[in-house]
Amino acid sequence: MAVTITVTDNLDEVLHLFDTATSKILAEIGMTVREDAANNSPVRTGELRKNFVFQVNDGEKWVKIGVPMDALKGNYAKYVELGTSRGQIPRHMLGNAVNANRGSFEGIAMVELKNA
């Protein structure tokens, strides 16, 4: 009596699912931090709050969160975040948003990896 063993290679499918999950993780982190940073930004006209964006780079596996340089006159966001030498105190909207949500990043990753 002969025994037949069949081996199936699913590595490509697993890698694709992992890449998809990684993109979703980065997007979820980007949305979470962007929303928190916008909510913590000072509101005079609302322009700063509505110009926070995020960008995911799937190939290099990173997320960039902030306000585009050309979105606000004089790149106002940088001066609000970091303060100025002329006495404007730093608000750290983005830095505080990252720190406040850092503990949820692992949970976000676990949910997306389980759903993959």
Range 36-42 average pLDDT: 94
The predicted structure's pLDDT at residue 97: 97
In a domain, 1, yes or no: no
CB-count exposure of residue 29 (10 Å: 0-12, 13-18, 19+) = buried
Evaluate whether residue 79 is within a structural domain. Answer: yes
Residue 4 within a domain: no
pTM: 0.85
The two tokens of residue 29 are 């982190």
pLDDT at 46: 86
In a domain, 52, yes or no: yes
Q: What percent of the chain has pLDDT over 70?
A: 99
Q: What are the backbone dihedrals phi and psi of residue 64, each rounded to the nearest 5 degrees, phi first? A: -115, 130
**Better-predicted residue by pLDDT, 20 or 71:** 20
Kindly report, residue by residue over 78-101, the tens digit of the pLDDT. 999 999 999 989 999 999 999 999
Two tokens, residue 10: 């699913």
Number of domains in the chain: 1
Please report whether residue 5 resides in a domain. no
Residue 6 lies in a domain: no
Question: Domain containing 70: what range?
Answer: 11-115
Residue 86 lies in a domain: yes
For residue 71, the model assigns a pLDDT of: 78
